[in-house]
């Protein structure tokens, strides 16, 4: 009678082995089933990605071509105020439209048309948002309000610019200096001295700091009325001038 194989018998203990190549064939079958089920969806997704990449590149190429076209139109306008306004109306929100309106505003400011200047400075802001000339437009708007019968609004706007640490030092110190000049001309020496100190804190070695120190020396320490400037009427604000580009 034959004896059963002992557990230690390697032939009896070893499990049945799969046929050679079974694992590879199973994997291949899984891949085939996967592609049969999801292949079309994957290919469609890849096509969308390729189209998206091409579309992104095409959009930027189109945008560059449009910017060049707009730039040529802007260059053709020249210094014609009416055409500058028309250009801005045709390209609302564009940076060059903002610059066009800024130039129109500067023209009105130079002529003393402060209400019109304030209007165009304000209109220029959307196109100049996050652009180098944005602060310049805000300063022009504040000065136009200050000199155009909206003194409280102008003072507040200038102070906001002077206090804004995100702005360029030159812009901040100029805003503070104009407030210094404004308060000195009104005889509000205490407030003028405060603004002089702010100019010196913002940019001690700058041009506006030098002007502030010279003006501060004439104010004394009290709140004494300043003598009116020669040739100026009581309704004017002498000494205040906004530096416009190119002037």
At the top level of CATH, the class of 69-216 is: mainly alpha
Are the C-beta atoms of residues 237 and 147 closer than 8 Å to each other? yes
Question: Does position 158 have pLDDT exceeding 50, yes or no?
Answer: yes
For the record, the structure tokens of 123 come out as: 């209109």
Mean pLDDT of all residues in 152-158: 95
Q: How far is CA 180 from CA 6, 141, 144, 215, in A?
A: 108, 18, 16, 8
Distance CA 106, CA 109 (A): 5
- What pLDDT, on the 0 to 100 scale, is given for residue 64? 61
- Write down the domain spans for the chain: 69-216
Distance CA 95, CA 29 (A): 60
- What pLDDT, on the 0 to 100 scale, is given for residue 177? 94
Instruction: Kindly report, residue by residue over 182-231, the tens digit of the pLDDT.
Output: 999 999 999 999 999 999 999 999 999 999 999 999 987 644 434 333 33
Are the C-beta atoms of residues 101 and 81 closer than 8 Å to each other? no
Residue 171 CB-half CA count within 13 A: 20
Are the C-beta atoms of residues 99 and 87 closer than 8 Å to each other? no
CA 222, 224, 230 angle in degrees (round to 5)? 135
Q: No. of H helices and E strands in the chain?
A: 10, 0
What confidence tier does 119 reach under pLDDT thresholds 50, 70, 90? very high
Distance CA 18, CA 16 (A): 7
Question: Does position 4 have pLDDT exceeding 60, yes or no?
Answer: no
Length of the chain: 247
The closest of 157, 196, 189, 193 to 173, measured between CA atoms, is 196
Q: What is the mean pLDDT of the chain?
A: 75
């Amino acid at each position: 009678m034959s004896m059963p194989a002992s557990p230690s018998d390697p032939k009896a203990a070893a499990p049945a082995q799969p046929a050679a190549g079974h694992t590879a064939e199973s994997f291949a079958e899984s891949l085939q089933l996967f592609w049969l089920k999801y292949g079309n969806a994957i290919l469609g997704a890849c096509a969308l990605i390729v189209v998206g990449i091409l579309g992104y590149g095409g959009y930027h190429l189109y945008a560059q071509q449009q910017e060049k076209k707009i730039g040529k139109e802007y260059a053709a306008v020249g210094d014609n105020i009416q055409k500058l306004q028309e250009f801005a109306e045709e390209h609302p929100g564009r940076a060059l439209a903002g610059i066009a309106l800024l130039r129109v505003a500067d023209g009105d400011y130079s002529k003393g048309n402060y209400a019109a200047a304030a209007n165009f400075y304000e209109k220029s802001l959307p196109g100049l948002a996050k652009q180098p000339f944005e602060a310049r437009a805000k300063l022009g708007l504040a000065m136009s309000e200050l000199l155009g019968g909206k003194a409280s609004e102008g003072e507040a706007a200038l102070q906001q610019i002077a206090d804004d640490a995100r702005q360029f030092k030159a812009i901040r110190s100029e805003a503070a200096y104009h407030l210094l000049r404004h308060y000195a001309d009104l005889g509000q020496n205490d407030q003028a001295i405060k603004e002089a100190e702010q100019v010196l804190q913002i940019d001690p070695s700058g041009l506006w700091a030098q002007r502030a120190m010279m003006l501060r020396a004439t104010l004394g320490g009290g709140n004494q009325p300043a003598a009116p400037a020669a040739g100026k009427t009581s309704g004017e604000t002498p000494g205040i001038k906004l530096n416009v580009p190119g002037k």
